[in-house]
Each structure stands twice: as structure tokens, then as C-alpha cells.
């Protein structure tokens, strides 16, 4: 038996037996989504058997309810409300009755079971043969998809064939409005504090084949239309009845027919969700009808074909091929597939920490987007990355309001966690105190502009975000006369949540430095190249003439200390003074530490939940020598627990860079199959989208060493020991570059766009037309000295 | 008009007019208590008029309900439940009917009103003449007392005399069980999160003159008996009826009689509370009956006489006479009177932050007891101080449990706030993180033993507390090789709650140093003098042979840095690096800062809520030179907001010590009348017991300069500019010393006990027999050099 959850397969996950013990995990892994609708991979008929039960969730990206946060001890400016991703009415259910026996996976006998999700198809397909307690043998093939090209539509086809009997077969298709979210329990990472049910039933409508439930959220005040349509393929004399339960809260369509042995009947369910978060309330019903009518007219097969086409396009850009390690290949593609399924693409939504697959972290968006997920999309689907930035731009007014609340007279402070833009951190020391969120967003804008050259975005949205958010650092920090006037930042929490509210967190200072310098340069560039845009923005934000110069001065004076004794960057002012955590006497069961030790116990030790200094070394990679990176890596690695899923991928990349190939590979393995093999033990509550993107980063930035510093593209590919090859494609300023690495050979191909220069290690590679360039992988990484002595190249335009 | 709440009077507060706007404040200031029962100073008839309404509270010290703390983001080891002081059934109410007209202070016309509380009587007396809307003129004299000598008993006498009519007069005496606590609102310092009513009604019993309500608390599972008895003085043909409201939740006795013009009728109400926190459940009813029967047999006048005797004894020991400033004299006595009323004396209870006068801080006990209140009692009523320590000893098992939860394999960690011993901090950065509570308790034990010489306490309880709590420092701190092996303590919050979770908080380190050294010396002394006690304790706590030596080593190596540039003690490692708060641009309305700025905004600045370093300079006064104290004072005073009521008194004392006489006086004024003049604007929710004790400290330790370092008594009295004299008495090892200060003269008298040496400035004063010694007040304070060159004296035994 393999230790893997499912059999290894390059392009799909496939489960060959129904496993009640693993039901919650399967529901997450087989979840479908299109960036808007998310359906957990539940059994069509539902499953309430022991031991884990089921979270029969249906989620809409950005569709949230707001509830007050009941702080047991209130303080000024604490986040007053949380927003959480709602579990919306469930249209997934189809019940099957064979005469008087209902199909129930926990009853009777399953004689064949296969559930598979092919990443090129995007259709969840279950083939089941089941014998009822009374001996009726039936084959059921169900297919489910969430249309990647139709934001509001999902579809289910449920086919039934009696194998050893003829008789009355009934299919009950349900639209269930009596749904609720998980209640909060002992794990701080899961569940909401609900109170009364957040969805208020407004009305139910039911025709012969269509059903519609209309709800309104109580606090966020959104109207939601959940609708179903049906198509029947089978005996024409089917009897179609309908009923409603719970005073119209749950609508059923019952299709009953006499079916002969061997005959197949099929019920197609088409579902749609429309909410007033996207459209005026008055349009919702009509839009719902139109979407369903169109889908019905096109038919299920067309939806399947469309889905495959959409995925083919995705994989053309995004596929990372890995030869020689099927487990990693499967993990990589599974992760990329889920990123596509999870990411909001409408400029009003983002990608939540758990995608649309579960209720962990209440469906909140974090910095995970900008620092982990964004580089994947900007390199493979820049148009999606653009929408993620549009989401942040839409959040600027809320970020400005939050800044005022936090005593900033000017500027914008983005929330640590949110859906609609308001701060939702219930525990500010590891929430609001992570001010680096502002720099992370600025970093993604910088990256976006460098990769795409999209200056229009900068003029229309980007510059305003970058400058407004930069202002906050001028309040958070100050020139410390006791440190020779260095710009110091107090009372912040860095990425490492095992340390809180410190002075001069290295990551924060390093990223603030980049942010301030970038803001100053954006101001300068705009003023020079687009004076009208600059004037408009400057007026809107009441920008003082000397502000950009002050940002530049703060950036220059930024305090980034190096500890002389150890030759490393202290994570913060107090960090190196604290005793190192007693790892030797910490039993494995006590990890993650956060579930077993009071925060104060953790905070007073040198112990990291995740990459902090090490992450800064990656994002600000051009500012530190390789030797420096190795020293920092060597120091922080032994004291990092990787209790956060955001950690392993970053350590993999840095291990690659500093030449620890085995470690790079081990960390990569942990990241690549983190969800597939449930390595953190909580994938039941949703996938870890940041770690999924981290898998891509670990190959592209780690093994292939891709960097884009100062607009200069460089790579330094190595082939991990037992791989036969790997390849990937990236987009850069209208070009598409393919990188293929085989034993002894690296092949660069320019698939689209104009000529391109890149650095291969210390070598300069010029790519033009369609002629690939072949060279050799790196044996070892070049040192800073190597690189400095190598050829300079112009940033590509 | 005076700015004072009530007319100035040396021995009482007296209100000459009913003031609805001030009702809540009056209720607090006229509150009565005996350390167990607390009755807010409500109007007998109740008052629900606008604008402030009424909090008709009745509290029992230590009688609490427990409710879960709903942390919006849970973490390991956070306090799971809070305990809060319950509002218990209200027996204070007497309603008066004149024919068909009820006495209502918001109706009719008040022709005379006087409410007074004399601190020598301890009886709240209201004289009221009132004309009803229909013109009936009546005089009502009501008296209320909570028996200082009868823990469970209070009494009310209500006398009525028709002034211009004869007719039917009815008095309705009520026992109201439908009571509840204030719900939490926007002020973090007031209110509980309740849910369902915590008192469950068990039964009601009602005889002709007696009523009894029995309740059980839902979570803490205490049984409570609230009982009333009545005595009638008036026409013998009084009609006595009873009724009950709300299914027996509220019991009334109605006394109706025909009363002639000029005739006086009196109803005496005797009340008692008994709970299973004190006695077995089966004894409660009997004990209640006995207490009431005894009180009834003795009669109201005897209770009044007893009360006066008890108070005479109190004032004999505790009175601080101040000549020449009636406002301060009144404030001082008011404060001392409330301390007596508030302090628990049964070894199971303590003194809560708001005494028994209101629901602020949920009735919790804090370090306020040990650092502010304890020195007052140990010097005036050492037997009460002993009970406060017994309370802490009773909490040792809970403190041990809490230590385990906080990952300490050994030792005991006292809760930051509690009633029954469990940690009730809902916000740990300014709660549990204040680990100095352990050192504060050890400090009070050290002080108690020095003042009383009670070694039996040390052997039976004190040593165990001191050593178990000392152990925690060995986990919290470590010898930092980066600081030459100094013992450093990370991730604590000091007294100043405008800074949180820092390294090497000066107060914490200084107090931990004293604690560790004291623990080592206690171990040594016990081992030498009482080896059997030592062996017993050592076995019970599994004390390793080398632990005391390790404590001593940590104490010696304690990190107490002095900043060379400024010549001051930094409040913590990061403090001096932070920018100073922008006081110039902070409008007065923005104080207290905690109600107007997010904690992170406050934390990242140099700004103090209260004395921190400055408090350490007082408590560890023999470790710092006067010059050093002055430098620290000068640095910290301008950045301290005194937003905490614990601050002004300490600054007053230090100002006295370093020679800032005007400042000492100004801070003293703020402290002395803080509640009487409602200077913090929240006395409505209860008095500030720590500041009340601080008033005494500011005279005795401030103006008179009393210190007891190393068992040596020293004084350095000065007379504030416009005072004619002041005097006070203290107890020390079986002696009682009186200090009288007049212009040009200090008189020391030994009222009781053996001969005593003390240091008067640099002078040595020998006191024996009853012969007072006269000398001169200090013009200026002696410097460290002066003192060092003065005579040495033996600690008194």
C-alpha cells in the first residue's frame, strides 16, 4: 500500500474505494470551483455516516456575512466585525430510489466504486455499482462540473442503469436552503461564531423543472438567488413531481419512471448562483434564468467540452512537467488545478487561504495572495494577476478608513484578513500588527509592472495604492537618534507568528524599505512620464511635494542590522537575546506548538513558525550575498517548526539557492503533496492555496532559480537528483518563455514575443525567433562575486 | 459653589440636596460595606429617574459566578472562564405609601433633604421631607448600616412622620430576587458578558415578618440564602400582609397602619446573606435564622452602638489627621473608611479593585492588593493583612495548576485577575503577561514579616508561596550570554499597560530580583531555624537542593540596565528607542488614551499609563541613589498620562522623596479626592481602592518619608506648605508609633510596646516608655551620601 491518499497518476486523482473514514478529506480534495462557485466533493446522495461526517459546503467567492466580533475585553480600534464566507444553498444533492430503497453508501454493498477528477477535464466523475439490501443491483455514473467559462453555472449529470431488475426508479433532485457554516471550536483556524442563521429566507419558486430560492444575508444585506434547472433523458412517461420542505426552505423535484434492466436514465441538473454583490438586485432573477436557459440549450456535453478547452489553455501556460517522480508530478498539477479553481477573476474577489474548498480561516484573504499566489499567476496568467490587484484597488477606501482608525492622518492600511476590505483580525497581535501586508501588496504591484510592463495599471490604480500605503511606514517608523538616525519600526509582527509585537522585524523593515523606495520611484516616474496622472493622484491624496523624497530618505536609512557575532540578520531587536526553544524536550505530539503552548511561552523563545528573515532573503534577494543567505538559512532553519504551511516552500527555494539540494528537495516534497497527503492534518477544512502556489515557486524559483530583480531575468536551473526532466513556461512582457531541463541540458525557447536576454547563471543568453538555446544546468550556484563579475544586461522592455 | 461633590467636613460626607444627575456617583460614594456585604448607596425607595438611572447593587465579597470567556480567536492556555462578582438579591428597598400616593423622589416636592455618612458612625442616614402631588407632607428618616462586627448582617430603619395629615400609611419592604449585573459595553473596565441569568431560583419562604430567597449559581454552584426579618414600631393594629411577585422571585411585606399627624412609625429591616462559599449547604438556613434572630434581639440601636465602637477602634489605629486642608482631610478619611468597608477579612476573600461598591473590573482582585492596599493594613491592622495573605495561600493550588498550563513544570503562577484563584484575564498581553504579580505577592509577604515579625506565618504559609512563585522566574528568565550572562526576562508586561510584551521590563526585573533573593534567604533561614518546617515544605514542593542557590545566582545576575546617555533606567529593552508620544497634538478629550487609540498605536510610543520604573524606585528604594531617582523621575514624569488611578499616588511619594514638594502635593490632591470628586469620571462604577490606599501611602511614605528597608525604620517628615499639622500611627513588631508633624516640630511617641530605634533623616531617634521625642521636620531630603554617612541602626526585633 502506498502512503499516498490516491494512486499516483500524472493528470488526475482517482479514488478506487469509498472510504468513510476519509470522507471529509475526500470532500476537500475532490472539490470543484471556478473562482466564484466552490462545491465540496461530496457524494451526490449526501453522506452522514460515521466517523467524520460531511461538510456539504457550497461557497461563493466574496459572498459573505458580517458578524460582530465579541472581544471579551474590548479596546479602541479592534476589528469590530468579521466577514465570513457563507455556506450557501446546496444544489448538489440527488437522491436515488429503487422502488422503496434509497441509495445509501453506508447501507447495502458497493461492488464497484471509482471517483476521479482529471485536471484536463475538470469534471468530477463517480462510477458506482451498488447492491441494495434487498438485492437490487444498479450502476450510477455521476458527473459534476463548475463551469470555468461560466462564472455562475455548475452542472451535474446523474445516470442510472438497473443491472438486475426492472422497476420504478425515482431521482430526487434537491435545492436545500437549510444550510449553515461550521461553528467555531478549539482550533483557532476553523469555524465562525454565528448566532442566528445568516441567510434569511425571502421566497421560494418552483416550476416543473426549475426551482429557485431567494435569500438575503442579515448583516451584509446581499440578495442571493440560488436556482436549478433540470433535463431528463429517459422514458417519456416520467412522472415529475415537486415538493418543498421546511416551509419552502428546501425544494425537491422528483423524477419517477419505470426503468427496464439495462436501460440508462439520466438527470441533468443545472445550477446557478447570482448575488447582489455582482449585480443590481432587480437583475438577479433574469440573469439567473438566462444563465440556466443558455446552459440547458447548450447541454451538458457542451459544458464538458468547454471545460476541457479552458483547461487546455490553462495548462498550455501553466503546466510544470516533472519527469521521474510521479508523486511530485501529481502534487504539482493537483495544486495548480486548485489554484485555478480558487482564484477570483472579477476584480471584486481574491483567493482565500483555503480557496473555495472549505471553511478554514472563514474564507479570508491574507498576504498569501500577494507573496505566494501572485507570482504564479503573473507568470502564467497575467490577466488574472491584474484582477487580483484590481481587488486591492477596490479595497483602497476601506484601507483608508482603517488607517484613520489606527491614528494615521493620511495613507491606507490594508487589513490583515478580510473578504470585502474591512479588517477582520480577531487577535490583533498576529493580525493587525502584521503591517507588512502593505509592503506585500506593493511588492506584488512592483512585480506585476516588471513582468507585464503594464504602466496603464500603474497610472490608473497601482501608483495610488503604492503611495497611499507607503505613507503608513512614515508613521510606524521613525529615525532613531540612538541608532545613528536609522529608520526603525516598532511594535509590529512579522510573518513569523511565533513572535509578536517586536521592534525592527527584519522582514518588515526589508519590505518597508523596498516599498518606500518603490513608492518614491513610482512618484518620480509618474511625475516625469505622466504628469497629468501624477497631478490627479497627488491632488486626490493631498500629496505634499516632499513626501516622495522623505520616503526615499526613510528607505535609505532603513535599519537592517547584521549581528556581528553570528554574522546573521536578527529577526528583530530582541530575538537573539531570547533562549532557543527546547526542541529536544518537545514531543512530536506537541506540534504545532500553537495548539499546545500559550502564546507567551512561544513568544519568549527563539522559535519560528515559518520563514521570516528567510523569506526576506528571497523577496529582496538582490540585496544580500549568497554567503549571507547561507548564514541566515543555517541559523533559522533549526529553529523553524514549519507549523505554518507557508514555510516549507520558502525554505525549499532558499535551500536551492544556497546549495542544499537534499533539503530543497525534502521541503519541496512537503509542499507539493501537503494537501494530497494531508500532511498538516487539516486539509479536511480546505486546501492550502499558498502552499499550492509555493510548489510552483519551489520549482521555478527554487530548482530553476528564476529571479527577476530590477527587471532583469535570470535563471540557474538544476535538475534534482532522480528527476529525468522538468519544464515550465512563463510570460514576461508579451513574451512566453519555455524552460526545459534535462540531464546535462537546459533548453530555453521563446514561444511568443520579441527577443529576450536572460542570465543563465553568470552566462548571458540571447533568445530570438523560435530557435531554442541549449546550455548546461548549473552544477553549483554562482556566488555573488561570480554574478558581479558576469555580464550586465538591460532590463527587458 | 465649591467644585467638590459634597460640602467639606472632616468626618463625614453629607449631601444637602437630591441630585438625579449625580445619582450613580452618589450610589457609589454612599455605599456601605463590611468586607463581605456591600450595599450601594441607593435611595431606599429606589430611583429609576433620568438621566443616569441607578445600579441598585448588592454584592458579597468572593461570591461569584463563572462564565466562559468567548475568545473570538482561541489560543492554547487563554483563560477559559471569568469569575465575576454577582449582584445578589436586593433587600434594601422600602416603599412608602401615603394613602394612594407612593413616595417618589422624581414626583412631588422635596422640602428638605439631607443624606450623610459619618465615618465614625458607619450609618447612612437620610432625612427627607417631602410633599406629595396631592399635598401630603411627610418626614422620612432612614438609617442603613452594614454591621462591621457581624459579617452576614445589615440593617435598615425607616421612620415616617406625617407632618400635615393623618391617614393610612403603608410601608412595603421588599426582597427582590430579579436582579442582574451590568452588561458589558464599550468600556473594557465595566460589565460582564452574561448570557442567561446566573442566579437560579430555588425556593422562596415567607412568614409574617421573615422572608427568605434561596438561589443557586449555575456554574460556580454556590447556594445562597438571602433573608429578611422585620420589626415594627407604631400602632399595634398594624396590618401586615405579604405578597410575592414573579412566581416567588420577589417577596414583599406590607405594613399598613392609620397614622396620626406628628406620630412617628418605624420599620426596622434586618437582612442577612449566607452562602455555601463559607459554610456547608445544610447549615445555611439555620445560620441565617440565628444571625437575624440575634440582630433582632439586640435591636437596631445596639447595632448602631457596635458600629461606632468598631469604627472607634479602627480610627484609633488608622486615622491620619491633616490640619489646614479640610478637602484633603475629608478625602483621606473617606478613603480609609472605604478601605475598611471593602477588605475581606476571612482568608477566603480579598479586596477588589472597586471594593464592594460597583461592578467595575467584575469585582476582580489584582496586584492592587499587595502593592497599594497591603501596606496600609499591615501598618494599621496587621491582622487584616494576615488574612489577605491567607487568601493568597488558599489560591496556591490554583496557581500551581495555572503554572502547569503555562508550561512550567514546577512552581506557581498567580493569576493577574481573579476572584477564586483562577486566571480571569480576557486580554493576556495586559493580563497574564504581567508576571510581576508573583513578585508583588512575595513583596507583601516580605513586608508582612518585616513589620510583624510573624515567623509562624512564614513557616506555615509564606515560605511555600515565596518559593513556589520564585521558581517561575527561572523559566521566564535566562542568563543571556549576549549580555555577559546577565539574567534577562523576556515577553512580559510591566505595570505600565501602555507598553506590552517586552524584554527586561525594569519593574519586573527589579521585583523578580528581590523575589529571588528573598526566596533564597527564606530557604536559608528556614533550613537553619526551622529545619522540620523546611523539610516538610521542600518535600511537598520537590525542592532540589541547589534551587535556592540558583535563585540567589539569578538575583545577583539580574539585568537592570542604566542608559549611559540619559543616566536613567530604561523601562524595557526597546522603550528608549521608540518615539515619544506626541502630547502636544493630543487633545484633552483623547485621554485616557486607551479609550481613543488602538493598543498598537499606544504601544509603539514612549508613553506610560502609570508608574512603572518610578514604582520600582519606591519598592526597591534602598537600591538606588536619590540622584538616580530624581533622574528617572524627571524622565518618566513628562511621558506619563496617569490614565491609571494607580499612578498619581506613587508619583506623589517619589516627588516627595526627590524634593519636588509642589508636585508631591498636586499628585496627592488628585489621589486623595479621586473618587470624592470623581476625577477619573468613572467612580459611578465603583471606588478605586488602590488609589484610596495610595492616599495613605502618599502621606506616610511621601510627606513623612517612612521606609522600612532591611527591617530598619526611617522617616523624614516634612510639613506641606499650608498644612497646620498632620499625624498618623503605625504598628511595628508589637509596637505602636505615633508621628505628629507641626510647623518646626516632629513628635514621635511610642504608644505601645518595647523601645524602638528609628532614623529621622540622618539622625538616630531612640524611643522608649511613653516619653515622646521631639525633633525638627526635614527641610530638604537627605541625599544617599548623607544617609550613608549617618548612624547605622539595628533592625528592630
Please indicate whether, in this complex, the C-beta atoms of A577 and B82 are within 8 angstroms of each other: no
Q: Which of B55, B47, B62, B64 is closest to B29 using CA atoms?
A: B55
Give the catalytic positions of A in this structure.
497
* Percentage of chain B exceeding pLDDT 90: 90
Q: Which residues pair with B153 in a beta bridge?
A: B272
A63-77, A222-236, A483-497, B727-741: least confidently modelled range: A63-77
Give the β-pairing of B712-715 and B756-760. parallel
Check: CB of residue B693 under 8 Å from CB of residue B331. no
Q: pLDDT over 90 for what percent of chain A?
A: 90
Q: Which run of H or of E encompasses B329?
A: helix B326-342
Q: Is the pLDDT of residue A116 over 80?
A: yes
Whole-number pLDDT of residue A786: 55
* pLDDT of the residue at B3: 79
Question: What's the mean per-residue pLDDT of chain B?
Answer: 94
* Sequential DSSP letters for A417-462: SBSSSS---SSGGGTTT-THHHHHHHHHHHHHHHHH--HHHIIIII
Which residues of B are known to be catalytic?
Answer: 497
The answer to whether A574 contacts B577, with C-beta atoms less than 8 Å apart, is no
Q: Which residues of A touch B82 (CB under 8 A)?
A: 72
CA–CA separation, B645 vs B636, rounded Å? 17
Q: With cut-offs at 50, 70 and 90, classify the pLDDT of residue A196.
A: confident
Question: Given this model, what pLDDT does residue B1 score?
Answer: 37
**Per residue in B735-746, pLDDT tens?**
999 999 999 999
Question: Residue B82 and residue A76: Cβ atoms within 8 Å?
Answer: no
Q: Let me know how long chain B is.
A: 797
Q: Minimal Cα distance from A193: which residue of B?
A: B72
**Helix ranges, B499-647 (H):** 506-529, 531-540, 547-556, 599-603, 613-619, 626-636
SS3 content of chain A, % helix, strand, coil (to 5): 35, 25, 40
- Interface mutation vs chain A, best among B600, B601, B606, B635, most A CBs within 10 Å: B600
Beta-bridge partner residues of B115: B15, B126
- Is the confidence at residue B230, as pLDDT, over 90? yes
Name which residue leads in pLDDT, A795 or A721: A721
Is this prediction's pTM over 0.90?
yes
State residue A1's pLDDT score: 37
CA distances to A405, A422, A477, B607 from A78, in Å = 9, 11, 21, 20
Test A574 with B503 for CB contact under 8 angstroms: yes
Cα separation of B160 and B266, whole Å? 6
Interface contact B426-A599, CB threshold 8 A? no
- Is residue A47 predicted with pLDDT exceeding 90? no
What average pLDDT does this structure show over B56-75? 94
Q: Which residues of A touch B502 (CB under 8 A)?
A: 574
> Positive or negative, the Cα torsion across A709, A710, A714, A716?
negative
What DSSP string runs through A242-255? EEEETTTTEEEEEE
Other C-beta atoms lying within 10 Å of the C-beta of residue B566: 14
Res. A710 pLDDT band, cuts 50 70 90 = confident
Specify whether the CB–CB gap between B435 and B717 falls below 8 A. no
Given a cut of 50, whether residue A625 has pLDDT beyond it is: yes
- Indicate the SS3 state at residue B109: strand
The three cell numbers of residue B245 are: 411577585
Say whether B599 and A75 touch across the interface (CB within 8 A): yes
pLDDT above 70: percentage of residues in chain A: 96
Q: What is the chain B residue with the closest CA to A605? A: B490
pLDDT computed for residue A762 by the predictor = 87
Of the residues A491, A576, A593, the best mutation for testing chain B's interface (the one with the most B CB atoms within 10 Å of its CB) is: A491
3-state secondary structure of B484: coil
* Residue B31 near residue B38 (C-beta atoms within 8 A): yes
| Residue linked to cell 512614515 | A474
Over the stretch B613-638, which tens digit does the pLDDT of each residue have?
999 999 999 999 999 999 999 999 99
Q: Nearest CA to A615 among A335, A336, A372?
A: A372
For residue B183, the cross-strand partners are B192
User: What count of residues does chain A have?
Assistant: 797
pLDDT in tens, B474-490: 999 999 999 999 999 99
In this predicted model, what pLDDT tens digit does every residue of A394-447 receive, in sequence order?
A: 999 999 999 999 999 999 999 999 999 999 999 999 999 999 999 999 999 999
pLDDT in tens, B143-174: 999 999 999 999 999 999 999 999 999 999 99
Which of B75, B576, B595 has the CB atom closest to A599's CB atom?
A: B75
Strands A124-131 and A486-489: unpaired
What nine digits make up the cell of B3? 467644585
CB B239 within 8 A of CB B246: no
pLDDT at residue A197, as a whole number: 81
Residues from chain A that touch B72, judged by Cβ atoms under 8 A, are: 69-71, 82, 193, 426-427
Q: What is the pLDDT of residue A194?
A: 64
Quote ipTM for the complex: 0.94
Under 8 Å CB pairs connecting chains A and B tally to: 156
- Within 8 A of B590 by CB-CB distance, chain A residues are none
Q: Above 60 in pLDDT, residue A80? A: yes
Helix (H) or strand (E) holding A672: helix A661-672
Q: What is the CA radius of gyration of chain A?
A: 27
Confidence of residue B193 (pLDDT cuts 50, 70, 90): low
Confidence of residue A602 (pLDDT cuts 50, 70, 90): very high
Q: Say if residue A502 is preceded by a cis peptide, omega within 30 of 0.
A: no
pLDDT digits (tens, 9 = 90+) for A640-685: 999 999 999 999 999 999 999 999 999 999 899 999 999 999 999 9
DSSP state of A21: G
Amino acid at each position: 500500500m502506498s502512503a499516498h491518499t490516491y494512486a499516483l497518476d500524472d493528470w488526475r486523482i482517482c479514488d478506487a474505494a469509498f472510504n468513510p473514514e476519509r470522507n471529509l478529506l475526500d470532500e476537500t480534495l475532490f472539490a470543484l470551483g471556478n473562482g466564484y462557485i466552490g462545491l465540496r466533493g461530496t457524494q451526490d446522495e449526501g453522506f452522514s455516516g460515521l466517523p467524520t461526517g460531511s461538510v456539504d459546503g457550497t461557497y461563493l467567492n466574496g459572498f459573505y456575512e458580517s458578524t460582530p466580533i465579541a472581544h471579551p475585553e474590548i479596546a479602541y480600534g479592534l476589528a469590530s466585525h468579521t466577514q465570513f464566507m457563507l455556506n450557501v444553498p446546496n444544489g448538489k444533492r440527488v437522491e436515488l430510489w429503487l422502488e422503496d430503497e434509497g441509495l445509501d453508501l453506508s447501507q447495502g454493498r458497493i461492488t464497484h466504486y471509482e471517483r476521479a477528477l482529471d485536471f484536463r477535464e475538470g469534471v468530477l466523475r463517480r462510477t458506482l455499482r451498488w447492491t441494495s439490501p434487498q438485492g437490487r443491483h444498479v450502476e450510477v455514473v455521476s458527473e459534476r462540473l463548475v463551469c470555468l467559462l461560466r462564472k455562475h453555472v455548475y452542472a451535474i449529470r446523474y445516470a442510472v442503469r438497473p443491472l438486475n431488475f426492472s422497476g420504478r426508479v425515482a431521482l430526487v433532485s434537491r435545492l436545500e436552503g437549510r444550510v449553515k457554516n461550521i461553528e467555531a471550536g478549539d482550533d483557532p483556524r476553523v469555524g465562525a461564531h454565528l448566532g442566528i442563521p445568516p441567510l434569511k429566507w425571502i421566497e421560494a419558486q418552483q416550476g416543473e423543472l426549475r426551482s429557485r430560492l431567494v435569500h438575503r444575508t442579515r448583516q451584509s444585506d446581499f440578495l442571493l438567488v440560488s436556482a436549478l434547472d433540470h433535463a431528463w433523458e429517459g422514458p417519456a412517461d416520467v412522472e415529475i413531481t415537486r415538493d418543498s420542505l421546511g416551509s419552502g426552505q428546501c425544494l425537491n423535484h422528483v423524477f419517477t419512471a419505470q426503468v427496464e434492466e439495462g436501460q440508462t436514465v439520466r438527470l441533468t441538473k443545472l445550477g446557478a448562483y447570482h448575488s447582489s454583490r455582482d449585480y443590481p438586485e432587480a437583475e438577479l432573477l433574469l440573469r439567473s434564468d438566462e444563465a440556466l436557459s443558455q446552459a440547458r440549450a447548450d447541454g451538458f456535453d457542451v459544458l464538458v467540452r468547454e471545460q476541457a478547452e479552458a483547461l487546455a489553455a490553462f495548462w498550455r501556460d501553466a503546466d510544470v512537467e516533472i519527469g521521474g517522480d510521479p508523486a511530485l508530478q501529481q502534487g504539482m498539477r493537483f495544486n495548480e488545478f486548485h489554484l485555478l479553481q480558487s482564484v477570483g477573476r472579477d476584480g471584486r474577489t481574491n483567493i482565500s487561504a483555503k480557496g473555495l474548498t472549505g471553511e478554514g480561516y472563514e474564507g479570508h484573504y491574507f498576504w498569501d495572495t500577494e507573496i505566494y499566489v501572485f507570482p504564479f499567476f503573473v507568470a502564467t496568467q497575467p490577466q488574472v494577476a491584474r484582477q487580483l490587484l484590481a481587488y486591492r484597488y477596490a479595497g483602497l477606501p476601506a484601507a483608508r478608513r482603517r488607517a484613520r482608525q489606527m491614528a494615521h492622518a493620511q495613507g491606507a492600511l490594508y487589513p490583515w484578513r478580510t473578504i470585502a476590505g474591512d479588517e477582520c483580525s480577531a487577535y490583533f497581535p498576529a493580525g493587525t500588527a502584521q503591517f507588512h501586508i502593505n509592503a506585500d501588496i506593493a511588492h506584488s504591484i512592483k512585480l506585476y509592472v516588471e513582468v507585464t510592463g503594464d504602466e496603464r495599471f500603474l497610472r490608473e490604480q497601482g501608483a495610488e495604492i503604492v503611495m497611499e500605503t507607503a505613507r503608513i511606514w512614515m508613521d510606524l517608523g521613525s529615525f532613531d537618534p540612538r541608532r545613528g538616525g536609522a529608520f526603525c519600526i516598532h511594535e509590529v509582527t512579522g510573518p513569523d507568528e511565533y513572535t509578536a509585537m517586536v521592534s525592527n522585524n527584519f522582514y518588515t523593515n526589508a519590505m518597508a524599505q523596498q516599498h518606500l523606495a518603490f513608492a518614491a520611484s513610482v512618484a518620480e516616474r509618474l511625475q516625469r512620464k505622466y504628469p497629468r496622472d501624477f497631478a490627479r493622484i497627488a491632488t486626490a491624496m493631498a500629496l505634499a511635494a516632499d513626501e516622495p523624497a522623505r520616503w526615499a530618505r526613510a528607505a535609505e536609512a532603513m535599519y537592517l542590522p547584521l549581528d556581528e557575532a553570528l554574522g546573521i540578520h536578527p529577526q528583530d531587536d530582541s530575538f537573539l537575546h531570547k533562549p532557543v526553544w527546547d526542541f529536544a524536550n518537545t514531543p512530536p505530539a506537541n506540534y504545532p506548538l500553537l495548539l499546545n503552548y500559550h502564546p507567551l511561552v512561544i513568544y519568549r523563545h527563539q522559535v519560528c513558525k515559518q520563514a521570516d528573515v528567510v523569506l526576506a532573503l528571497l523577496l529582496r534577494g538582490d540585496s544580500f550575498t549568497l554567503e549571507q543567505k547561507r548564514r541566515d538559512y543555517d541559523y533559522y532553519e533549526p529553529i523553524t517548526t514549519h507549523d505554518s504551511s507557508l514555510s516549507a516552500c520558502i525554505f525549499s527555494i532558499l535551500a536551492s539557492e544556497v546549495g542544499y539540494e537534499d533539503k530543497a528537495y525534502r521541503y519541496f516534497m512537503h509542499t507539493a503533496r501537503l494537501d494530497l497527503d494531508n500532511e498538516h492534518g487539516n486539509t479536511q477544512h480546505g486546501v492550502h492555496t499558498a502552499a499550492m502556489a509555493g510548489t510552483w515557486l519551489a520549482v521555478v524559483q527554487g530548482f530553476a532559480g528564476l529571479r527577476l530583480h530590477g527587471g532583469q531575468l535570470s535563471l540557474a536551473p538544476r535538475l534534482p537528483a532522480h528527476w529525468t526532466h522538468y519544464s515550465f513556461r512563463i510570460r514576461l512582457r508579451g513574451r512566453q518563455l519555455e524552460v526545459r531541463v534535462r540531464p546535462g541540458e537546459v533548453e530555453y525557447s521563446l514561444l511568443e514575443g520579441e527577443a529576450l536576454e536572460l542570465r543563465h547563471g553568470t552566462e548571458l543568453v540571447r533568445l530570438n525567433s523560435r530557435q531554442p538555446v541549449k546550455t548546461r544546468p548549473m552544477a553549483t550556484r554562482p556566488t555573488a562575486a561570480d554574478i558581479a563579475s558576469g555580464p550586465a544586461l538591460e532590463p527587458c522592455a
